[in-house]
Amino acid sequence: MSQDKPHFSTHNINDWEKAAAKSAPAGDLNKLNWVTPDGITVKPLYTAQDTVSLPYTNTLPGFAPFLRGPQASMYAVRPWTIRQYAGFSTAEESNAFYRKALAAGGQGVSVAFDLATHRGYDSDHPRVTGDVGKAGVAIDSVEDMKILFNEIPLAKVSVSMTMNGAVLPVLAGYVVAAEEQGVSQELLSGTIQNDILKEFMVRNTYIYPPEPSMKIIGDIIGYTAKHMPKFNSISISGYHMQEAGANQALELAFTLADGKEYVKTAIDSGLDVDAFAGRLSFFWAIGMNFYLEIAKMRAARLLWCRIMKGFNAKNPKSLMLRTHCQTSGWSLTEQDPYNNIVRTTVEAMAAVFGGTQSLHTNSFDEAIALPTEFSARIARNTQLIIQEETHITNVIDPWAGSYMMESLTQEMADKAWAIIEEVEAMGGMTKAVDSGWAKLKIEAAAAEKQARIDSGKDVIVGVNKYKLAKEDPIEILAIDNVRVRDGQIERLKQIKATRDTAKVQAALAALTASAESGEGNLLDLSIKAIRLRATVGEVSDALERVFGRHRADTQKVTGVYAAAYDDGENVGDTMEYWNALKADIAAFAEDHGRRPRVMISKLGQDGHDRGAKVVATAFADLGYDVDMGPLFQTPEECARQAIENDVHAVGVSTLAAGHKTLVPAIIAELKKQGADDIIVFVGGVIPRQDYDFLYEAGVKGIYGPGTPIPVSAKDVLEQIKKAVG
């Protein structure tokens, strides 16, 4: 038998096009293209020709422009850090979780704080009765911080803290807790998020207006550069932008533009760029667009290097982008929740292929509630399996040289750079945020995405396709908010009774004076106040006296949901349903002399408003009159506005587990104010186990994650018809 190598005919792209056209829809090869939400066309086939003119394909990891990774050896020597982002109501419970996670293979601690802490309120403040210990740990003073990190060696374990609004007292509490553990500031490693610009765009856990918030950031960068050389002073976050609806190009562009603004702020405060730039880090969301997420991370390093060269940074460490990633929370579904394990695994792989430095994998039950120990273990083991079993770590940037990936990386970079230039033309990111433009861009992308899901064009398995006939309930972690709050209030009383009040007042007065004059460093002064047992709320109030508390304008996009829904590409009978519902709403207006009117509200300190904004947009596009309540309303304020605006219904959007406290409270307030004819409906993250409780409290409709908005809009209309007779 001949051992000669077989000969194959050579073929060119024209040959392929002819062959592929035979099976393409209507013989049209363009129909095989995928146009991404970013406006990038992904082709079904890439060849060597696609990479011929690309400028950075022959670069190496560890060297500028760092497209292939910030470190020369990447995971071949040191895999990414496995983090578990968690905060379980009390410092004691959170501490127990961290210690278990570290013992089971976790390599760093990531702290989630409750919304009262984020917004600078102590647990005894009347505005936070439904928020204490929900969606994270309650921290009122350094005593809570000491419990949080009890028996965790802060000289060795890196700590990441997602904190922006109350960043001064929280970071100060961590520093003082470490001191009292015997660990000096220069040994501390980890990251404080400290990224306020994205808060004004999407997450809304701000306290002060943009200008003084930027002053705080400058002071933190300056203090940590001098006293905490191993600590990252800011984590510039795209995560929450994607969670709020941004596509990958928007997330990339706005995050880098935020970073650029922070660098400018630090330089303007008198710092040399190379003194602090090496301690800046980034934070990306990793969603289900597998290829795009890898391309985004590679493009991010390329563009950040370009930006920092523009600031004349000389040190290579100043030019390299380092990042933490977290798998998407938004992609998790309440329906058929075990599917989420697969989703998170795919997203974790994208983060690893993209070259992340640390990673948090979400638990499969996080669309419903805080993770249980069981679900957190699966999430952590997902990373351990990728690290220890797959051999993925042996090869640095394995996607390098892929015709598709190299092309996509460059396209992503070009797309994002065009947006960055648009921001620059507006005067930078602070101006783009202040004007509301950036926020509206993200909200338009969110509305478009939701319309694509609701109309069936984008498939979510178990939600709008391959649905289970019956959903089995899963075990969830329930938080006793009243117990937690009572415990925190007791500890606050004790602290205030045993401290030197005159010294505390003097330290707080020094903070207020510094805020007024612009002299002194606000983090330094906060540390001094926290040492004396000033509380988070007191430090925040001392600054609020001068800075004020930010109030956001409530705007909503219009026409975007309808445009995506009404483009003639809908699947099945969704268009018919849409048009029939619009006709029903028009008929109601004809019969009653006005359109059905709803108010979409956010109660408590939960600032995540993607769902609320998308619902408001879609309801308006269907023909409803829609009012938006401002963020952070109390039940009393919400009831008053609903009555003044003469609405038929109030829709409460809830994502932070406050529904069992706040929703009965709004129903009681409407009754108290003589308006129990106004119906209340609820949407968001609500465990099925709580549905009966809410119905008994008087709720007329509950719409969990995955409910198509037209379906909820029809149900609300029927409920309004019943109420008006």
DSSP single-letter state for residue 698: T
CA distances from 179 to 62, 364, 526, 531, 533 (A): 35, 37, 15, 10, 14
Q: Pairing mode, if any, of strands 649-654 and 108-111?
A: unpaired
Res. 88 pLDDT band, cuts 50 70 90: low
| Mean pLDDT, range 188-208, rounded to an integer | 89
Res. 479 pLDDT band, cuts 50 70 90: low
Let me know: does 631 contact 602? Beta carbons within 8 Å.
Answer: yes
Let me know: does 200 contact 191? Beta carbons within 8 Å.
Answer: no
Q: Is the pLDDT of residue 87 over 70?
A: no
Q: Catalytic annotation on 602?
A: yes
Phi, psi of 410 (to 5 degrees): -65, -40
DSSP single-letter state for residue 112: P
Q: Distance (Å, rounded) from C-alpha 217 to C-alpha 522? A: 10
Q: Catalytic annotation on 606?
A: yes
Res. 84 pLDDT band, cuts 50 70 90: confident
**pLDDT number for residue 201:** 86
pLDDT in tens, 261-314: 999 988 998 989 999 999 888 999 999 999 999 999 999 999 999 999 999 999
**pLDDT number for residue 429:** 92
**pLDDT number for residue 568:** 54
Q: Is the pLDDT of residue 572 over 70?
A: no
Q: Distance (Å, rounded) from C-alpha 265 to C-alpha 194? A: 13
Task: State the catalytic residue, choosing from 140, 195, 584, 606.
Answer: 606
Phi, psi of 683 (to 5 degrees): -140, 155
Let me know: does 558 contact 621? Beta carbons within 8 Å.
Answer: yes
For 536, the 3-state DSSP assignment is helix
The two structure tokens encoding residue 461:
């398995």
Lowest mean pLDDT among 73-77, 87-91, 233-237, 569-573: 569-573
Q: Is the pLDDT of residue 647 over 70?
A: yes
Q: Distance (Å, rounded) from C-alpha 602 to C-alpha 412? A: 35
pLDDT in tens, 107-142: 788 898 988 999 999 999 988 887 888 778 999 999
Let me know: does 203 contact 168? Beta carbons within 8 Å.
Answer: no
| Mean pLDDT, range 521-525, rounded to an integer | 97
Q: Catalytic annotation on 621?
A: no
| Cis peptide upstream of residue 65 (ω within 30 degrees of 0) | yes
Q: Catalytic annotation on 336?
A: no
**pLDDT number for residue 656:** 60
Partnered with residue 232 across adjacent β-strands are 191
Res. 690 pLDDT band, cuts 50 70 90: confident
**pLDDT number for residue 27:** 92
Question: What is the total residue count of the chain?
Answer: 725
Let me know: does 584 contact 615? Beta carbons within 8 Å.
Answer: no
Q: Catalytic annotation on 625?
A: no
Q: Distance (Å, rounded) from C-alpha 716 to C-alpha 714? A: 5
| Enclosing H/E stretch for 190 | strand 190-192
**pLDDT number for residue 410:** 98
CA distances from 200 to 283, 457, 669 (A): 17, 31, 30
Q: Cα 425 vs. chain centroid, distance in angstroms?
A: 27
For 308, the 3-state DSSP assignment is helix
Of 451, 452, 445, 421, the closest CA to residue 250 belongs to: 445
Residue with tokens 């008929």: 587
Q: Is the pLDDT of residue 566 over 70?
A: no
Task: State the catalytic residue, choosing from 215, 260, 439, 608.
Answer: 608
Task: State the catalytic residue, choosing from 56, 174, 208, 239.
Answer: 239
Q: Catalytic annotation on 195?
A: no
Q: Is the dihedral of CA 190, 194, 197, 200 positive or negative?
A: positive
pTM: 0.86
- What are the strands, taking DSSP E only, across 87-127? 108-111
The two structure tokens encoding residue 111:
């702290």
Task: State the catalytic residue, choosing from 85, 121, 174, 206.
Answer: 85
Res. 85 pLDDT band, cuts 50 70 90: low
Full 3-state SS string of 286-334: ECCCHHHHHHHHHHHHHHHHHHHHHCCCCCHHHHCCCEEEEECCCCCCC
For 679, the 3-state DSSP assignment is strand
Q: Pairing mode, if any, of strands 41-42 and 34-35?
A: antiparallel
Lowest mean pLDDT among 263-272, 335-344, 552-561, 710-719: 552-561
DSSP string, 334-348: SSSTTHHHHHHHHHH
CA dihedral 137, 143, 149, 154 (to 10 degrees): 130
**pLDDT number for residue 207:** 92
Task: State the catalytic residue, choosing from 215, 240, 360, 415.
Answer: 240
| Mean pLDDT, range 522-529, rounded to an integer | 98
H helix and E strand count, the chain: 28, 16
Let me know: does 424 contact 307? Beta carbons within 8 Å.
Answer: no
For 651, the 3-state DSSP assignment is strand
**pLDDT number for residue 556:** 66
Res. 696 pLDDT band, cuts 50 70 90: very high
Let me know: does 288 contact 328? Beta carbons within 8 Å.
Answer: yes
Let me know: does 106 contact 84? Beta carbons within 8 Å.
Answer: yes
CA distances from 557 to 59, 176, 448, 452, 496 (A): 43, 45, 11, 16, 47
| Enclosing H/E stretch for 717 | helix 709-724
Lowest mean pLDDT among 65-74, 444-453, 573-582, 671-680: 573-582
**pLDDT number for residue 73:** 97
Q: Is the pLDDT of residue 671 over 70?
A: yes
Q: Cα 696 vs. chain centroid, distance in angstroms?
A: 33
**pLDDT number for residue 101:** 83
**pLDDT number for residue 478:** 67
Q: Is the pLDDT of residue 571 over 60?
A: no
Of 393, 303, 376, the closest CA to residue 64 belongs to: 303
509 contact partners, CB below 8 Å, separation of at least 6 = 542
| Mean pLDDT, range 449-467, rounded to an integer | 86
Maximum Cα interatomic distance, the chain, rounded to a whole number of Å: 98
Of 549, 535, 546, 544, the closest CA to residue 507 belongs to: 535
- What are the strands, taking DSSP E only, across 34-155? 34-35, 41-42, 81-86, 108-111
**pLDDT number for residue 2:** 56
The two structure tokens encoding residue 416:
């994002």
Q: Distance (Å, rounded) from C-alpha 210 to C-alpha 432? A: 11
Q: Cα 429 vs. chain centroid, distance in angstroms?
A: 18
The two structure tokens encoding residue 683:
């949407």
**pLDDT number for residue 170:** 97
Res. 624 pLDDT band, cuts 50 70 90: very high
**Listed ranges 96-100, 324-328, 332-336; the one with the highest mean pLDDT:** 324-328
Lowest mean pLDDT among 217-231, 233-247, 699-713: 699-713
pLDDT in tens, 574-613: 778 888 899 999 999 999 999 999 999 888 777 677 778 8
Average pLDDT, the chain: 90
Q: Is the pLDDT of residue 560 over 80?
A: no
